[in-house]
Every structure is written in C-alpha cells, then in structure tokens.
Structure 1
Amino acid sequence: MRLRPLSLAALAAALLCGPAQAQSVAEVFGERSLAIAIDDRCHVFSDNERDALTASWLQARGTLLRAGHSSEDIRSTFDVITRRASTRACSSPEAQGVIAGVRSAYTAFSRMYALDYPGGARVWMAQRRRGEIPVWTLSQTLADEPQPPRFGLYSDPAGEVLSLSLVPAEPPSGVAIVLRDPERASEPVDPTLGGLLAVSGRPAWARLAPPRHAEARFWASGRRMVEDRLHFAFPESATEAIARLDPREAARIELYDARGRITGQLYVEIGDFAAALAFLAAGIDPSASAAPGG
C-alpha cells in the first residue's frame, strides 16, 4: 500500500517534540533518522552501535521505497529531522532518551547470529561468521529448483568474497554481474512504465533492471569447486557498487560460453543488501548467550 506523502513530514515534527512509539515502518525510519542526526552531532555511539543503527535505518528506508514512497520525500524527511535535531542539546532529555533507546535495542540486536531481510520477491539471508567454518554470511537463492544458484558473500578461512554458486550442466567459461551505473543514470529506470508494459527476458518483479544505456559490468575474477558446486568470485568493488543501489532495483548475472556468447541470465534483487552488510559489520556481543539465529 502506498504511504501518504505527508506521513513522514508530519512524523519529523512529532519526533522532536517527545518520545515516539515505533508502531510503523515510517516511525522506525523517523526514530532511526533522529538517532543518526544526534550521533552525527554528539558522537555518542560505538562503531558497532552505529553499524546496527545504520542497518535498521537502511531496512526501514528500503521498506518505504518498496511501499511506493519516493526517494525524494525520504531524503527530505531525513533533512528535516537533521535540521531540527540540531536545535536540541546533546544533554537534553529528548536526546538522552533517543540514545538510551538505541543502546537498549542494540543489546538485543548484538545477540543475533542470523537475520533475514525480505525484499519484494526474494530474501537476503545474513549470518554472522563464527570460527573458521565456511559459511554464506549473506546470500540470496536465484531460482526455485532443487539445487538453485546462490549469490552473495561466501566466507571461509581464505576470506570473504562476493560469489555466485552453481551446479551447471555445462559450466560457463565466464560470468559477469551487471548493475546500473549511477554516473550515467542517477536514478533507476523503469521501461515497463510502472508494470504496464512487459519486457521480455526478465522476471516481472525485475522492473528496475540495469538500463542498457547505463550498465556497469563486473567480471568474475576467479573460480573454484566447493564440494559439488562451482563458485565464481567477484571483486570487492562489485560489493560496494551493489550496496549503493536502490533497494527496488535488480542486478543481472550473465553466463558466457568459451566463444563469448551469453548462454544464460539470472536476476538478483538488490533489496536490503546494504542493511544486511551493516548487520554483519555490527558484530556479535561477546557476552551474548542466545542460541544461534535467535
């Protein structure tokens, strides 16, 4: 359901007049925006608390975008909150209440080993690494089949790498992930005009795929077998580029044969990739006693 344009603007004023109850995604976004504005000015949170706050803010922002709220309205609301927060002293009851709320929420957040980030069509599954056991710290399955392709961050003793995992009948010779290039297209492009037109060769949910006139292509820089699956590794720059995209967008993965011909395509929902990265960066409270995933 589309959010009313005035709901966030009204929230920005209300948040700075007293404590807020996080009863909706818009209110969560507002509360986290206010906390970020206070921290930017007062420098009150630890690095882990700041990463956790960023994860929550990004997830709320992504949900608002997928609900139909404009990125311009969200930016405007954040600016309003930041300006008005600047009039509150760091030691004021309002600021101290926000700081205490974030720290209380972080206590629970820091005990979580795993968290799912649902998007419009697919889910990012985030799992903090423990020990040296190989694990997908962040992954998305790309098809509904017994052994589906998997994309995300794969971690083992050698390090954490953005990877595509396949069990192909004929292994591709090369793989590239294609994203919108923000330098050539500052905003996502929708050739379907809001779903009114069909675009062949892509799933219906991938309306905001990389536009042909503004593509950035990142080639897999290595490959190896992990058990019975073929893993393609991508450069760190691809991870950074994905994190900068709009949560509503899709990325396209192209599979190439030895003659340079495209033999297959897969689509990745950008979703809350950046929020999940912040969740992983926030780390685990060493005093946590909760069971994994809880």
Structure 2
Amino acid sequence: MSAADQRCGLFAPDVAAALAAATAQARGAALRAGTSAASLRQTEQAARAKASAADCHSPDIATAATRVRSAFAGYAKMTRLNYAGDVAGWAADRNLGRAPRWSLAQESSFGTGADAGRMAFGLAGREGQEALVAVAAFADGAQPYAARLVLRDDTRASQPYLDRFGGGSTAGLPLARRLPPVSAQKAYAAAARSPAGSDLLPKGETAGWAFRFPDAASVELATLDPREAVAVDFLFPGDVTRRAYVEVGDFAAGRAFLQVAGH
C-alpha cells in the first residue's frame, strides 16, 4: 500500500506516516529472522510494479485503502510502543511535555568493574523537538570530556558487517560483532555536553553526562540495516575510551511512529 499511496496519493500525511512506520518495522523483523536484503528488495520492486499497473480508482484499491485508514484509527490513539530487538529494543513515547524526556530510547550496560557504566541512548527533547542524545553514568564517577557516535560508512561498505557463519537469524549475535571494521567506519562527534537531567538518566542512576549529536547522525542512523550495531565512545583524559553499543533495530520504525504525532 505504500507503493500505491506514492502513486495515487491515497492517504493523508498522518496515515502515510503510520504506514511508513509499519513498513519499517516489518522490514526489520524480516531481516532479523533471516530474510535476505536482496529478497526484500525483490518483494518491494514487485509491489511497486503492481502499484504502477493498478487503477487508482479501482474498487480493490479503494477497499484496501479503507482498511488501512480503519487500522490507523486505532494506531493513532497509541502513545507508547515497544520495539523488541535481538539484544536490545527501543521504547517509543510520543506524549509531549515541557520537561526534557525520552521519546525513543534504548538502555544498556557496558564495561566491567570500575570501568562499568549505564547508558540511555536515543531521541530526547521537549514538546516534540527531539535530538539524538546519549546519557551515561559511570561506576567510578568518571567524567568524559567528549563522545562520538561510530557507525558504518555506507560509502565504504554498502552492506552491514555481521560476524557470523552463513545467513539466517541474527538472534544472539553480540552487538560488538555487528559493527564494521575501522576501515568501514565513520564517526559523528557530539555537538554539546552537559550534566544530565534526572528525567534522562538511565534507570537507577542519580548523576551522569548527556551528549547531543548532530541531526545528520539521527537521519543516518535511521538508514542503517536493523541487524547491525553502532557504538558510542566516551572519551576521557589520558587517551582513555569507554565504549557502549546500540542495536540499530527498529530505530527507523520508532522514529516514524513519533512523526505520526507531528501530522
């Protein structure tokens, strides 16, 4: 129906955004279950070909569009949605508020012993104005002076690196084995650093540091394969780096879910 909507203009922007979110979620689930990207591309091409040949005013198209609008009526009332992943999922919340809050977040633990930490990562802000943010707390109270987001550079590697034998499901594959080698990586430096507000801290933490990344990083993250991972490096004096991993998962679907509220 997404292909038909692009050709025939079947849906209002809010319904189209909801359809995009559902499409992204379905694509992610198929990839994680072992469906190849090539197979999905063939399916998408077949759908576009079928849509291009369809009569925009046909009864079949009208019936299908009515069903989508009916489904959207229930979807539009949802304000929270959880997206499961192989290792870590995303929690989406499109309620608006004046205080900074997480709209789309994934929490994780990293490191061991004195180097251990907790991180919340995702889209945060107030009144629907979200930015890509990492908030971290460290067991030893260390204070990072900078952070960078490390991800696959699609100009150097068009496909994700998944360190596994053969194809099939990625369930159980550690996030560290979903990041490309250094030669195929790029990084976004955090644009701002500040003490983290209590509403953004990882669960159970009382103090931490927040780093805001450029908007371009959020856009690029949404284009990555849902099976891969990205890393957040926290930089400390003495050339010390502590790394946390994020499962890309359904970030694109969650981001689209939030955008429904803006239409």
TM-score greater than 0.5 by the shorter chain: yes
Mean alpha-carbon deviation: is it higher for 55-64 or for 139-148?
A: 139-148
Counterpart in the other structure of 1:110: 76
- Give the aligned residue type for 1:43: G
Q: Is the 8 A contact 2:228 2:249 kept in 1?
A: yes
1:283 equivalent to 2:261? Answer yes
Structure 1 gap ranges (5+): 1-34, 196-202, 286-294
What's the offset of the Cα at 1:248? 0.2
Question: Percent identity of the aligned residues?
Answer: 35
**1:167 aligns to what SS in structure 2?**
strand
Q: Is the 8 A contact 1:206 1:249 kept in 2?
A: no
What's the offset of the Cα at 1:129? 3.2
- Give the aligned residue type for 2:184: A
What's the offset of the Cα at 1:88? 1.8
The change in CA–CA distance for 1:230 and 1:157 in structure 2 (over 3 A counts) is farther
Question: Aligned runs of 1:1-294 on 2, under 5 Å?
Answer: 35-143=1-109, 148-156=118-126, 159-168=129-138, 169-194=141-166, 204-225=174-195, 226-227=197-198, 228-262=207-241, 264-283=242-261
- Give the aligned residue type for 2:148: A
Q: Is the 8 A contact 2:87 2:175 kept in 1?
A: yes
Structure 2 gap ranges (5+): 168-172, 199-206
What's the offset of the Cα at 1:85? 2.3
Q: Is the 8 A contact 1:113 1:284 kept in 2?
A: no
Counterpart in the other structure of 1:26: none
TM-score, normalised relative to structure 2: 0.86
Larger relative strand fraction? 2
**1:150 aligns to what SS in structure 2?**
strand
Q: For residues 220 and 144 of structure 1, what CA distance do their matches in structure 2 show?
A: 19
**CA offsets per residue over residues 174-233 of structure 1, 9 Å max, x none?**
1111000001100012344459xxxxxxx7244321322111101111111224331111
Counterpart in the other structure of 1:288: none
**1:213 aligns to what SS in structure 2?**
helix
Count how many residue pairs are aligned between Structure 1 and Structure 2: 243
Q: For residues 118 and 134 of structure 2, what CA distance do their matches in structure 1 show?
A: 11
**CA offsets per residue over residues 249-289 of structure 1, 9 Å max, x none?**
00011111124432x1110000010010000001179xxxx
